Each structure stands twice: as structure tokens, then as C-alpha cells.
Structure 1
Amino acid sequence: MTIKITKLKALINDIPLPIRLFLGKALLFFVVWKIIYGVFFYDSKVLDHPLTIHVGEATVKLLNIATPMSGFTSKREIKTSTYFGKVSQEEASLIYHKGKEIIYIVDRCNGLELIVLYIGFIVCMPSKFWRKVLYVIIGVIILDITNILRCSGLIFLHENYHGYFEFAHHYLAKASIYTATFIIWMVYSRNINFKNEAIQIR
């Protein structure tokens, strides 16, 4: 056991100090967020409800304006759902097409967790303050639009190519929003160099 701990310490010490500092700050940010969210925001839904409603309403507007289909509406309702075998009731944005329920958007699909993760990465990476602010604002807007496009695309598939819906829902749609996040991260960090002794920002 002592040998394993020693090897682990040696492995950690081999990681350049700037990267260790970044990973430590990122872990701290994530833990603090989870605590704050669990204590103040989880039950109150003060962040989740407005964002979920926004995603539902924006998705409906996009479908009605930018596609040949029309007659979409969204409504906040209590929905019974099963997630990992657990049955629960929660408020969701239900999307209707000409009065028929199509899909529903729950709080865990509103993009909040990914947005916070994205912001945490930007905050923890070394850069100038206003550059961080700029990338936070632009990135949040891009991720929000991407999530709306994701939901719109899923509804389009559900109505026109139902056989592809499940695959797109579980894999393709999620991959699209994670890819968007990764691309913004890459653009943000392109001029940040991690070195053993210091971090140089060009």
C-alpha cells in the first residue's frame, strides 16, 4: 500500500506545476458549484426552471419560423418520467405539435450543467480578465443556441424520421453539444502554453 501511494505521489509530481494548479482549481470549482447548487438551487429550481422554459419556448419559435412545419407550442407541466430505472415527477417544458405531445424537456436537459462546466474551465485557465469575460459571454450564448438547435433537430427527426430519433437522442445530439463546448475551449486555450516552470500567455 505504501509503495502504491509513493508511486501515485511520484506520478502527480511528474505533472507540471501549472497543470496541477489548473486541475486543482477546476476540481475546487466543481465541488463548490455542486455544494452551492445542492444547497440553494436544486429544490428552488431558481436557475433550472427559467432556463428550461427558455429552451422550450425558443425551440418552438425556431421550429415554427425556420422549418416547413408549424403549430408547435410549449407548456410547463408536471411530467412523470423514468431515469435510470427511477420513476419521478418533475416539471418540464412539454412540446406539442398541433395539440399532440411530441417530447418534453426536463431540467437536466436544459444545458445548465454543461454551461457551468464550460465557465469553470474558462475561469480556471490563466488569461486576462476581459478575455475570460468575453469568452464566457460568447460561449454561453453559443452553447444555448446549440442546445436549442439540438432540441429542434430531435423534434424534426421525431416527426419526420422517427427511426433515427433514439440514436440521435442518446448519441448524436449529445455529441454535437459536447463538440461545440470542446471547440470553444480549444479556441480559448490556443494561445495558452503550459510549461514546467511558468505559463506564458501570448
Structure 2
Amino acid sequence: MKKYFILYKPFLLFLGTFFLTYIVLTFLYQQYLNGFEENQIDSVTRMVSENTEQVLLLFTDGSSIEESTTQPYMKLFFNEKYVARIVEGCNSISVIILFISFVVAFSGRLQTTLLFIFGGSLLIYALNVLRIAALSALIFYFPKQESLLHEVLFPLYIYGVVFILWLIWVRKFSRYASKDSK
């Protein structure tokens, strides 16, 4: 049994580090969310909603957000039509936690790791805001395609970006990156 632990040590270290990081960050995020009342919108979701509204206002004056009075979400209007609601799950924090966990599990030098986590998290956040804005406009023009857009194309888009960031991290910056690829 010991020889298997030695043989698979890098893989087991990766798994352990990944899951430990993921569990700790998820726990911390849940504690953050628990600081809000049951029907209160958390600050990150509110910020994502406001940023999405700002992006949409670049294209049409008929875009706005409005806080729901009964549930914890923001109503999103495009061309003055209610097209979507932005809930806590739309704020990309769970995707960022997944991204960070992977990068930490394949960590490289501390400074490089922290810079990549910061830059990648900002990129994921910004692309998520653009994703919500585009999704809202597309739902306005193609309401019958809402399911395909929301459940297939746009998750593929955001997780595809994360996957590409992971590939860049592993190939260029992690401790496993090829030193002669420069």
C-alpha cells in the first residue's frame, strides 16, 4: 500500500490541496452569505447587477435593474422589458473559487500564483458581467432560446474561459510548467 502512496504522491497532493482549498474557500464564502438576511441580496451580486446595467446602458437607455421586494434577486430590464433575474448564483464567485482551487493545487512561485489568481479572478468577473449582459439582450431578441442560451451556451462560455486559464497556468506558470518553452 505504501508503494502506491509513493507512486501517486503528486496526484494525491494535487487532490488534497484542491479539495482543501475548495472546502475552505466555499466555507468562507458561505459565512459571508450568512451575514445577510434571508431575503437580502449580497454585495457581490448587487455589484454584478450594477455592472451589468452599466454595460447594457452603453447599448440602450432602456436598460435598468430593480431589486425584488419579495426575494433576494435583482430584476434586469432590457429595452424596458423584464428579461432576467440576477441571483447569488450568477455572481461568478463559485466559478472563481473553483479557478483558485485549481491554481493553488498546481501552485508555482508565491508571487506568480497570487498575481495569476488576482488577474484570472478579475477576468472571470468581467467576462461574467459581459455574459449576463449578452444573455439578457439575446433573451430579449430570442425568448424561445432562453433555455439553450442560459443552460448550455453561456455555462460553456464561462467554464471554457476557466479551462483556458487553467491550461495557461499549468503550461506557463505552475511548478510543472516546461522550463524550455520560453
- TM-score normalised by length of structure 2: 0.83
Query: What is the root-mean-square deviation in Å for CA atoms of aligned residues?
Result: 2.6
Identity %, equivalent residues: 22
* One of 9, 15, 18 as aligned partner of 2:10: 18
In 2, are the aligned partners of 1:127 and 1:201 still within 8 Å (CA)?
no
Report the counterpart of residue 119 of structure 2 in structure 1: 138
Aligned partner of 1:37 among 3, 24, 29: 29
2:75 pairs with 1:94: yes
Deviations 1:128-157 (A, max 9, x none): 111111111110111011111111111111
Q: Which residue of 2 aligns with 1:53?
A: 46
Work out whether residues 45 and 91 of structure 2, in 8 Å CA contact, stay in contact via their aligned partners in 1: yes
* Paired residue type of 1:115: I
Aligned residues: 175
Unaligned regions of 5+ residues in structure 1, if any? 1-8, 80-89, 195-199
Does structure 1 retain, via aligned residues, the 8 Å contact 2:19–2:101?
A: no
- 1:166 corresponds, among 125, 128, 147, to 147
Per-residue CA distance 1:76-125 (angstroms, 9 max, x = gap) = 2245xxxxxxxxxx311211235542211000111111111111222221
Higher Cα Rg, which structure: 1
What's the offset of the Cα at 1:24? 0.6
Moved over 6 A (4+): none
Instruction: Determine which structure has the larger strand proportion and give its number.
Output: 1
- One-letter identity of the residue aligned with 1:59: T
The correspondence for 2:57, drawn from 58, 64, 78, is 64
- Within 1, Cα distance between the matches of 2:117 and 2:163? 14
Distance 1:102 1:126, change over 3 A: closer
The TM-score with structure 1 as length reference comes to 0.76
Gapped regions of structure 2 (runs ≥ 5): none
1:82 aligns to what? none
Shift of 1:14: 8.1
- Checking the alignment, whether the CA contact within 8 Å between 1:73 and 1:97 is kept in structure 2 is yes
Q: 1:94 & 1:188 partners in 2: Cα distance?
A: 36
Q: For 1:45 and 1:143, locate their aligned partners in 2 and report how far apart those are by CA, in whole Å.
A: 24
User: C-alpha separation between the residues in 2 aligned to 1:193 and 1:98?
Assistant: 49
**Which residue does the alignment assign to 1:6?**
none
With over 3 angstroms needed to count, the CA separation of the structure-2 counterparts of 1:14 and 1:179, relative to structure 1, is farther
Aligned equivalents of 2:79, 2:137: Cα separation in 1: 14
Q: Deviations over 1:141-176 (max 9, x none)?
A: 110111111111111111112222220111101110
Query: CA 1:134–1:36 in structure 2 vs 1: closer, same or farther (change >3 Å)?
Result: closer
